[in-house]
Structure 1
Amino acid sequence: MPQAQREAASAAGPAVDGYPARPSVRAGDTLRLHVSTRAARFRADFFRCGARIRHLGSVQGPGRYAPPGRHDEDWRWPGHDVTVPANWPSGVYIAVLSPATTALADPAPPGAEALDARRSRILFVVRPREPARTSRILYKVPVFTYHAYNRSGGGCLYGSLHHDEAALRAGTRTVSLRRPGGGIGGPVKGSPDAHDPRTPRQTFAHWDAPFIAWFEAAGFTADYCTDLDLHESPRLTDGYRLLISVGHDEYWSEDVRRNVTAFRDRGGNFALFGANTCWWRVTVSGDGAALRCAKYPPGVRDVDVDRLRGSPGHWWESEPENALTGVSYRNGGGHWAGRRAPLGFTVQHADHRVFAGTGLRDGDVLGAGHALVGYECDGAAHRRDAAHRAVATGADGTPAGFTILGVADLPADPAAGWQFAAREDPDPGRAATFGLYTRGGTVFTAAATDWARLLPLDPQVRAITRNVVTLLS
């Protein structure tokens, strides 16, 4: 069903909106949904997103109306408890809300994009029952980033502080996790994606769902969690061999970073099939209901904070994210609007096991035909050796031994549409670098947010992804 038809269908009858009290729940436990509607009764249909979309059940409840709140407060809508069946597999679920009189339009939609909408949707993650670990792979859903871009209630973690004097004095912005949106079901900040206009950027259907569909169709299984789970549970990763993050995992708390780093140090592997990772530091409220990000130096307003030094929330200014990810957005860049010129990674070390079965040789270019590099990408500070291969210098915090497997030099001409963040040293030029290193466990980074978009389009990207997951799990 096209987007316009989906929106029209959800608008039929009284509107029904909602959000989860928490973004994840264990199978067999109680999920609390907060729902507002003028309908006498509402219906919630539950879909699991995997290799295919599965309708796993529905519930009904009495309708009660509550007004919307601000973006930075708990909306406190009426609560409805749902017992999650103990046999529901771990995964990402979408609840489709409608008046109880509305029939289920499509019990088997073709993909997550068919479920995507800016209202009447709730995203939540089902974690495995105790004892946990039904797989050796743990997949992290970036709920923090989804809420950072969620504009329900009139704001998000972006925009000027000009009209908010309290925020201006503190240099911070706050968003609530207890409001509609956060991956689906709310308006999002950002430009349309000219390379994949089916869904908005900063949504689950755009970033994570295509990867999960390919991943499960390829025969892999994972347990799923959110970054809030990793924030609250230092040993959540115990027993797993591989942690996966995909797409645009931009906002990290200190506890998430500490716990993922400890997992690596204990020998756990980490695969990042995305970019702009761990760029902003957020503080999570004690009840897990809100995020705060100190983006602006106190008293500063109306500036591009990515081009500014002195932003307290920048990981790179105090504890460079390279120490974990191997790369940083400050060495790469972003292309926000319109189509970008085709750009891929020039391959080096083609004899590495990551490239097995791809047919790639040193000097070949990966993914250029489908503009793999972007819309945001990360890089490591590097130099060229005698054989003209890119070698990480470590000057920006990248661990020793980081092997650069591919390089994409970014156009410096402003007319090319690329934008860049502040950095320590402008030399060499900006470049995306994908690669890996080992320190305890192995960390692989694809260094491009659009990696998952190419999975159905590029057999070499598919082969590399399969190799990485197989090797590290």
Structure 2
Amino acid sequence: MTGSPPHARPGPDIAASTREPVVDGYPARPGVRAGDTLRLHVSTRADRFRMDVYRCGETLRHMAFLIADGRHAPARRPEQDWCWPGYDFAVPAKWPSGVYVAILRADADGPPDPAPDSTEAVDARAGRMLFVVTPRVPTARILYKVPVFTYHAYNESGGGSLYRSTHHLATPPPGGTRIVGLRRPGGGIGGPVKGHPDAHDPRTPRQTFAHWDAPFIAWLEANGHTVDYCTDLDLHESPEPLDGHHLLLSAGHDEYWSAPTRRHVTAFRDRGGNIANFGANTCWWRVTVTDDGTALACTKFPPGAPLGVDLDALRGVPDHWWETEPENTLTGVSYRNGGGHWLGPRAPLGFTVQHAQHPIFTGTGLRDGDLLGAEHALVGYECDGAATRRDASGAAVATGEDGTPVDFTILGVAELPADPAAGWHHAARESDGCARMATLGLYTRGGTVFTAATVDWPRVLPLDRQVRTITHNVITMLSRNPGPASCGPKDVSVPAEPG
């Protein structure tokens, strides 16, 4: 979610209780290589605490537990390193790459809790830690990027996020820059979250691992896709995690990118690596990572900006990627040509299919003009688009005026309602000469880049057979070999979705 419209009240954000958790913690860094030691930081007033670690895949798999003496430290401000007591946790070299969640509890001497039956059951606003185990050497063709930067942008542990702070109630922060630390509870799980509840799936808060990434990862592993994992901090620090992989995946809401992360991903594409983004609002804000990798800074306020304004509707915002280096040149699309619907249920909206003979539609039964995903409100709650025009046949084609590659093949369009009463809000952009719409599609520059152009793709994935089939087709096509894939409406064989 990019923000709140200026006329909207803050609303029922998902916040933690003001009461201190019995036990809480965070990892010193969000990623660790298999076989290395991860420093975990835990605070509790209990004499002892227990930590159970689960790997999140098709199911939750219990991997280890630890019992240790408890020590207490106070909470700090959101921009600070909280410096809580540290505990070294040796990650076995044999552990598979993946996303791991540690569950903390204070009654260490009691019987173990029953194993949770889903990632949704694991999710909580305190007493949880998320970390990613990266492989020592690549074990798969696919690399999944976990968006830790975005998690922490919305994490309100300590009383603030990259959206607001109790320490800056009257005016924007000096210089227009906000800072959030990576060494504090939260960041995908275990912290209070800025954002409105999801009317289409209220079980978990939007800006969390359980809401976006977990259902997509569960589907990947249930359908036999072998995957390595990394964080965006890993890709910020080095392009090495991309080595040996054919396809880089992200899903849901991958909004905050550093310049080195973007540079490394672009170089991967240029040398033939493929990218599939099953989400939207991607690469919207630029963040700067501190030299020690412990905090993020983002300059969201142009000079003289009043408090409460919708920053996405302004020009001159320093860390909007589109104003200096349009994200379209990498992703093919931008939020500024789409829009967001943050509050309450949306009117059902799906993609109108064009070029239905393209191999990503193999096995879907879709024809040109059919609707994809409308039954489940697939388009939203935020979506991305390209500047478009209509050709002689009436099909939407990219103009390229916004930075989108001119050979971006638009395979589905969803024009957004223009009436403000429909609840959609839009960002500033270069020209209002074309309609606001989500544009599903792909292009090739060395490697092929696919975008689903809607944040809600992972939410609908378990619900819609055609969405599942397209997901399977894209991953199969782009993970098979590095280098160009078919971008035009040609006949390319794609195996049928299993099951």
How many Å separate the matches in 1 of 2:370 and 2:170? 53
Conservation of the 8 A alpha-carbon contact between 1:345 and 1:406: yes
Does the alignment pair 1:97 with 2:104? Answer: yes
Question: What secondary structure, in the 3-state scheme, does the structure 2 residue paired with 1:262 have?
Answer: helix
Task: Kindly state the Cα deviation for residue 455 of structure 1 after the two structures are TM-superposed.
Answer: 1.3
Question: What secondary structure, in the 3-state scheme, does the structure 1 residue paired with 2:240 have?
Answer: coil
Task: Kindly state the Cα deviation for residue 169 of structure 1 after the two structures are TM-superposed.
Answer: 2.8
How many Å separate the matches in 1 of 2:301 and 2:244? 39
How many Å separate the matches in 2 of 1:27 and 1:234? 18
How many Å separate the matches in 1 of 2:306 and 2:112? 47
What pairs with 1:47-66 in structure 2 (closer than 5 Å)?
47-66=54-73
Q: Give the structure 1 partner of residue 421 of structure 2.
A: 415
Query: TM-score when scaled to structure 1?
Result: 0.95
How many Å separate the matches in 1 of 2:174 and 2:303? 6
Deviations 1:284-340 (A, max 9, x none): 000100000010113423121100000001000000000000000000000001100
Q: Give the structure 2 partner of residue 40 of structure 1.
A: 47
Bigger shift: residues 299-308 or 382-391: 299-308
What pairs with 1:9-48 in structure 2 (closer than 5 Å)?
15-48=22-55
Does the alignment pair 1:270 with 2:275? Answer: yes
Cα–Cα, structure 1 residues 162 and 29, in superposed 2: closer, same or farther, change >3 Å? closer
Q: Give the structure 1 partner of residue 79 of structure 2.
A: 72
Question: What secondary structure, in the 3-state scheme, does the structure 1 residue paired with 2:264 have?
Answer: helix
Task: Kindly state the Cα deviation for residue 242 of structure 1 after the two structures are TM-superposed.
Answer: 0.1
Deviations 1:363-387 (A, max 9, x none): 0000000000000000000000111
Does the alignment pair 1:440 with 2:446? Answer: yes
What pairs with 1:290-439 in structure 2 (closer than 5 Å)?
290-302=295-307, 303-439=309-445
Query: What letter matches 1:114 in structure 2?
Result: A
How many Å separate the matches in 2 of 1:22 and 1:420? 35
Question: What secondary structure, in the 3-state scheme, does the structure 1 residue paired with 2:241 have?
Answer: coil
How many Å separate the matches in 2 of 1:343 and 1:101? 52
Q: Give the structure 1 partner of residue 222 of structure 2.
A: 217
Could you list the runs of 5+ residues in structure 1 that have no partner in the other structure? 1-6
The percent identity for this pair of structures is 71
Question: What secondary structure, in the 3-state scheme, does the structure 2 residue paired with 1:259 have?
Answer: helix
Query: TM-score when scaled to structure 2?
Result: 0.90
Query: What letter matches 1:111 in structure 2?
Result: S
Query: What letter matches 1:156 in structure 2?
Result: S
How many Å separate the matches in 2 of 1:161 and 1:320? 32
Query: What letter matches 2:448 in structure 1?
Result: T
What pairs with 1:172-187 in structure 2 (closer than 5 Å)?
172-187=177-192
Deviations 1:121-178 (A, max 9, x none): 000000112xx10001100000000000000000000037983789633110000000
Deviations 1:65-120 (A, max 9, x none): 0000000100000000010111111000000001113433222x221101000000
Q: Give the structure 2 partner of residue 126 of structure 1.
A: 133
Task: Kindly state the Cα deviation for residue 194 of structure 1 after the two structures are TM-superposed.
Answer: 0.6
Could you list the runs of 5+ residues in structure 2 that have no partner in the other structure? 1-15, 480-499
Match of 1:111 among 102, 105, 118: 118
How many Å separate the matches in 2 of 1:159 and 1:368? 34
Deviations 1:368-416 (A, max 9, x none): 0000000000000000011100000000000121000000000000110
Query: What letter matches 2:292 in structure 1?
Result: D
Match of 1:207 among 209, 212, 233: 212
Equivalent residue pairs, number: 461
Query: What letter matches 1:459 in structure 2?
Result: R
Question: What secondary structure, in the 3-state scheme, does the structure 2 residue paired with 1:236 have?
Answer: helix
How many Å separate the matches in 2 of 1:98 and 1:134? 34
Conservation of the 8 A alpha-carbon contact between 2:171 and 2:306: no
Cα–Cα, structure 1 residues 357 and 272, in superposed 2: closer, same or farther, change >3 Å? same
How many Å separate the matches in 1 of 2:166 and 2:49? 38
Conservation of the 8 A alpha-carbon contact between 2:364 and 2:469: yes
How many Å separate the matches in 1 of 2:277 and 2:326? 16
